[in-house]
Structure 1
Amino acid sequence: MQRVTYQGYFGDKRIESRGSSLHQRLFSSGTRSIQGLSINRAEQKAYYRFLHNDRASEEKLIEELIGRCSSQVKGKVVLAIQDTTEVNLTTHKGRLQSHTGLGGIDDSKGIGFKLHPSLVVDAQTCFPLGFSSIRMWGREFDMDTKAARKYLPIEQKESYKWLQASDQSKTALNEAAAIVIIQDREGDILEQFIRIPDERTHLLIRSRLNRLTNDVEGKLWDTLSASAKLGTYQVKLDSDSHGNLPAREATIEVRCIKTSIRRKGKGISAELYAVEALEVGCVGYQGVHWRLLTTWPVTDFDQARLVIEWYTWRWFIEELFRMLKKEGFNIEGSELETGWSIRKLTVMLLDTIMKLMQMHIAYNEAEEANVPDSDILFTKEEQRCIDALNEVNEGKTKALKNPFKAGKLNYAVWVISRLGGWKGYTSQRKPGMTTMFKGINKFYDVFDGWTLQKDVGTR
């Protein structure tokens, strides 16, 4: 049975049904092309109408997505991972309608829009729960110079996006036991440390500046590096082609201090913990060296390790952007002709990619973990088809049997990954999101035939 995702949001059952159908088709087809995912011309027109309908607004799409996330966080400690990317539509400049939600981007001659989401994951299980904030905007083409903007109030700067998203996350996640907001160096803004934290809301941000502190010992980084070592640990790190870093077993030294940061010449300051993760023994390359600022209490080695691990989960949002653009749905190649419709499609694709992330994490959970049931992503009939495909894809030996419990999400993901080209051997590298992305597309091709066969067989 088709889920009506947007029920009650647009004030029109036909629009809601059309949006729910498009929502499901984005997931099942593996494409952002409306022409490519539509079964016929009538359906194609219906989806175009939905994306151009003012009643199915960007704000309502975001509200629905955030609402689903809010309903899942009660009593949990959650991480809200923020970052910014841009959707570059410059190659379609001649086709896109002007004044439709687009603006300048980092390329001074380009057009597109900025995207700043907050992706929420369970701090204990790493399982993605949804989004607590999504903001999109086009820059004004005649923005003041960077030097002129430096002296503006924070509310008038583009960097205010970090504080806005943090405030919105606090509201959306108000039933969570605790929130840890994670940001990269661009979020290292003193005003944020002063305004955002409270008894249940914490910040975890990579330090951008060797800031002044209220300590007599000196600046932040110098004091932190001179502090006593809490301990060391080993971790396997993958290779990084961009930084020419090899795959390796890294030794990480950990330090932590309780301190405060302040602005020169002003009495405003914020208390926090600074944690250092320093890779030692590097030869021929620059290893990991993170200085993390957090309001989450860190008083020993285990707590320091925890916040370092949480920070590594920023991988989620980088993967989100990768799948949204070139290596996944290629939103920058959209055939839509208005910025507003592309922005709405972007919101729906973020939701689709989150489902792929849920599949990826569910598969990588330990067998004894509390893995969700398949019905969070698949209907009863789809699960029956998955069961049938499991029988076909399992081998005769134990090594090629589905190791997971039927009805669980990791059981379904094993089958989907086999369809995506994964061989199924435990000695083989675990399937990645790209494999699952391919597998979903193939699964729904099979499911369409499965459904047709059943319908014909009952006539």
Structure 2
Amino acid sequence: MVLERVCTRISTSLRQLADTRAEKIAFTRFFGNPRVSPLEILRTAAARAGEAAAGRHVLIIEDTSEINYQAKALRKRGLGRVGNGTDVGLFVHPALAVDAADGSVLGLAGATIWRRTKPKQANYQALPIEDKESHKWLATAQAARRALPETPLATVIADREGDIYEVFARLPDARTHVLIRATKDRALAEHGRLFAEIAKQPEAGRLVFELEARPGRPGRTVTLAVRFGQASIRQPKTGADRRDPRSLSLNIVEVREIDPPSPKEAVIWRLLTTHSVTTLADAARIVDLYRRRWTIEQLFRTLKSQAIDVEESLLADGEALERLAATTLVAATRVMQLVHGRDAAGAAFEAARLFDPAEITVLEALIRRLEGRTEKQKNPHPRHSLAWAAWGIARLGGWTGYASERPPGPITFTRGLRRFHAIAEGFALASSLQPQIDVCAR
């Protein structure tokens, strides 16, 4: 019931989640109950993602974000330190399952949630990866892969923090590839360094695409020179594990922006992958897959400032806040499923993925009311598809429905979901009172 309320009301405020004082007490006890495991909350979500991912090439996109509670530090207990080493909070490291073909969000395939309560040991780099915080990149991806048993092909995608030798050595198998943006100019098995090696390769062609706007950076059209090749990277000497091979053969794709606005803003991506790359088309496909990584950045914005605002929670205990983090990750993923299911991608899925039969009945009534008289004002998507439902939720959130308008994002869908579920609750209440009304009418 708690998870359902968080997903429908998209809030972490117990006052907003609970309808009565008894419910507020019950919800407080739920988050404070040591028998409630964040892992079980995540496993339930991962099972649903596994069903949606069956038969698909799935991108397992992972990244880390901190949840900072410093503004409420005096009201918190049992938390650790976040990235700056001073503020209190915790970390979340989700693995988001995304369809490789159309970018639709299939669900939350796993996550690691923890509090950093100890400083790094002096010999941290020499420790086996199982004793490092960076083990999250390996463990979370492995758990996500196990949650997708019917997925014939998966590609684990990570940004530069995930450039870890053990990830390349231990994750790939017959059904699993990796694609990670390089941050380290690694030593090669024979001689030389990785970045110099890729720079030697001839330009294979150029790509042009729209670079998404991000906080502090407007979107723009970029033209990139493409190089690709193969490299055998050497196992780092520090912390080397005998279980891993001494070297690994990987493919590398480099894209470098032509005429950037400034050297600081230039796009330079060096992408290491186990996927085959022998042509410009292969390289372009790798770049397109990596660009899907932006989806998890949207998830974090939805989790925090743009929708749920998990950092505003008044729960005090660190363990309770871990349970809340797991719950809100599921809710944020639900919002993202609508964001990425709003167009053609969502037409292939049924609305029943996110809405129960009673809610679909309410959606039908609302969409009929929200549609205008002209074709441009009609819901263009197949009836009862996820895209059809997303159109209705976005309209409730303030989107006009015109194709010329900017596509609705997390904030619009959050507003729409809140309004929709309030209407759906009213509809259910009216339906339950109807027999009494009929009796009184007689």
Post-superposition offset of 1:72:
3.4
| 232-241 or 330-339: bigger deviation | 232-241
The equivalent position to 2:48 in structure 1, one of 64, 68, 72, is 68
Q: Is the 8 A contact 1:30 1:438 kept in 2?
A: no
Q: Cα distance, 1:215 vs. partner?
A: 5.2
Correspondence for 1:311 among 286, 290, 294: 290
> TM-score by structure 1 length?
0.88
What is residue 58 of structure 1 aligned with on the other side? 38
Separation (CA, whole Å) in 2 of partners of 1:452 and 1:189: 54
Partner-residue secondary structure (3-state), 1:44: helix
Which residue does 1:226 correspond to in 2? 200
Q: Are 1:35 and 2:34 counterparts?
A: no
Amino acid at match of 1:416: I
Query: How far apart in 2 are the matches of 1:75 and 1:330?
Result: 35
Does 2:229 align with 1:257? yes
- Deviation of residue 420 (structure 1)? 0.7
How many Å apart are 1:180 and its aligned residue?
A: 0.9
Q: Please say if 1:202 is aligned against 2:177.
A: yes
Of residues 98, 107, 110, the one that matches 1:133 is 110
User: Per-residue deviation at 1:396?
Assistant: 1.7
| DSSP-derived class of the 2:373 partner | coil
**2:217 paired with 1:237:** no
Q: Could you tell me how far 1:399 is from its partner in structure 2?
A: 1.4
Compared with structure 1, are the counterparts of its residues 239 and 337 closer, same or farther at alpha carbon in structure 2 (3 Å cutoff)?
closer
What letter matches 1:251 in structure 2? T
Is 1:271 matched with 2:249?
Answer: yes
Deviation at 1:264, TM superposition (A): 6.2
Cα distance between partner residues in 1 of 2:230 and 2:350: 42
Deviation, structure 1 residue 370: 4.9
Once residues 273 and 354 of structure 1 are traced to their aligned partners in structure 2, the CA distance between those partners, rounded to angstroms, is 31
Question: Which range moves more in the overlay, 431-440 or 219-228?
Answer: 219-228
Aligned-pair CA distance for 1:409: 1.2
Counterparts of residues 322-333 of structure 1 (less than 5 Å): 322-333=301-312
Match for residue 129 of structure 2? 154
Bigger drift between 164-173 and 199-208 goes to: 164-173
Separation (CA, whole Å) in 2 of partners of 1:249 and 1:43:
51
C-alpha distance in 2, partners of 1:142/1:205? 27
1:449 equivalent to 2:422? Answer no
- Tell me which residue corresponds to 2:439: none
Q: Which moved further from structure 2: 376-385 or 190-199? A: 190-199
1:296 aligns with 2:275: yes
Query: What is the alpha-carbon distance in structure 2 between the residues aligned to residue 79 and residue 179 of structure 1?
Result: 6
Amino acid aligned to 1:256: F
In structure 2, the CA distance between the partners of 1:283 and 1:112, relative to structure 1 (3 Å rule), is closer
1:111-130 superposed matches below 5 A:
111-130=88-107
Question: Retained in 2: the 8 A contact 1:215–1:259?
Answer: no
2:330 to 330, 351, 372: 351
Deviation at 1:236, TM superposition (A): 1.8
Q: In the alignment, which of 388, 399, 418 is matched to residue 411 of structure 1? A: 388
Q: CA deviation at 1:279?
A: 1.7
5+ residue gaps in structure 1?
1-20
Q: 1:238 to 1:315 in 2, by over 3 A?
A: closer
Question: In structure 1, how many angstroms separate the alpha carbons of the residues matched to 2:383 and 2:149?
Answer: 35
Equivalent in 339, 343, 349 of residue 318 of structure 2 = 339
Residues 105 and 341 of structure 2 are in contact (CA less than 8 Å); yes or no, is this contact kept in structure 1? no
246-255 vs 441-450, which moves further: 246-255
- Residue type of the partner of 1:228? P
Q: 2-side partners of 1:155 and 1:24: how far apart?
A: 35
Gaps of at least 5 residues in structure 2 are 437-442
SS state at 2:256 partner? strand
Q: CA deviation at 1:193?
A: 1.6
Contact 1:232 1:252 in 2 (8 A): yes
Secondary structure of residue in 2 paired with 1:316: helix
Root-mean-square deviation over aligned CA pairs: 2.1
Tell me the distance in 1 between the aligned counterparts of 2:38 and 2:87: 23
Distance 1:435 1:399 in 2: 20
Q: Is the 8 A contact 2:306 2:410 kept in 1?
A: no
Tell me, yes or no, if structure 1 residue 437 matches structure 2 residue 414.
yes
State the shift of 1:205 in Å: 0.5
Is 2:337 aligned against 1:363?
A: no
Residue 223 of structure 2: SS of its match in structure 1?
strand
Higher relative contact order (CA 8 A, sep 6+): 2
Q: 1:388 aligns with which of 341, 346, 365?
A: 365
Pairing 1:82-121 to 2, within 5 Å after superposition: 82-98=62-78, 102-121=79-98
Question: Match of 1:321?
Answer: 300
Identical-residue share of aligned pairs (%): 34
CA distance in 1, matches of 2:102, 2:428: 35
